[in-house]
């Protein structure tokens, strides 16, 4: 039976490895998070335009994989389209990637145009919407649905709420 060969680790090797880890962490820069890509930085003056653009799409059909008004939207497609039109921001068509590009904020700090993320499929950041104020968000909910306004106080969304995030530089 073969056995795994182990190499002795000296104190010097451990110190060298720790130094390399610290050096790599320092390369991330102040205030950045390792593993988080910097997203677009959007002027807060565009918050109203983002919300108004999203509101103009109410009643659009839900369509998985789509980010076009003529065909419909899924949740990240709605966000991608709205931020592209209203803020000239190129976002990916993927909730987890948008979450990585945005920075977390406290739920009680949500402002119009910020993102709300939910765990609706048993995985992190599987659904998202655009916060519009007063505890409400614009949402492309699911197959067979239409873009609509929902409440964060709705028991379903309250139970599945995961995080609040933003791209605005307030």
Which listed residue (27, 125, 139, 154) is catalytic? 139
- Does the annotation mark 139 as catalytic? yes
pLDDT tens digits, one per residue of 69-103: 999 999 999 999 999 999 999 999 999 999 999 99
pTM over 0.85: no
Which listed residue (27, 127, 154, 160) is catalytic? 127
- In total, the chain counts a number of residues equal to 170
Task: Identify the architecture of domain 44-166 in CATH.
Answer: Alpha-Beta Complex (3.90)
Q: Assign 136 to helix, strand or coil.
A: strand
* Closest of 17, 54, 43, 26 to residue 130, by C-alpha: 54
* Cα separations in angstroms, 50 against 7, 85, 115: 57, 8, 11
Residue ranges covered by each domain of the chain = 44-166
Which listed residue (9, 27, 75, 125) is catalytic? 75
pLDDT tens digits, one per residue of 129-160: 999 999 999 999 998 899 999 999 999 999 99
Query: If you compute the radius of gyration of the chain from its CA atoms, what whole number of angstroms results?
Result: 20
Contact by Cβ (8 Å): 124, 36: no
């Amino acid at each position: 039976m073969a056995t795994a060969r182990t190499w002795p680790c000296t104190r010097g090797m451990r110190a060298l490895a720790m130094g390399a880890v610290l050096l790599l962490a320092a390369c991330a820069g102040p205030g950045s998070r390792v593993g988080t890509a910097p997203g677009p930085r959007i002027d807060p003056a565009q918050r109203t335009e983002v919300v108004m653009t999203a509101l103009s799409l109410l009643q659009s059909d839900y369509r998985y994989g789509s980010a076009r008004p003529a065909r419909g939207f899924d949740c990240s497609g709605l966000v991608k389209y709205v931020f592209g039109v209203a803020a000239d921001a190129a976002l990916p068509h993927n909730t987890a990637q948008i979450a990585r590009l945005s920075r977390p904020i406290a739920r009680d700090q949500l402002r119009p145009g910020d993102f709300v993320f939910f765990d609706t499929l048993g995985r992190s950041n599987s659904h998202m919407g655009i916060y519009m104020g007063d505890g409400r968000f614009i949402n492309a909910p699911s197959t067979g649905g239409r873009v609509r306004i929902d409440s964060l106080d709705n028991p379903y969304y309250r139970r599945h709420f995961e995080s609040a995030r933003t791209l605005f530089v307030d």
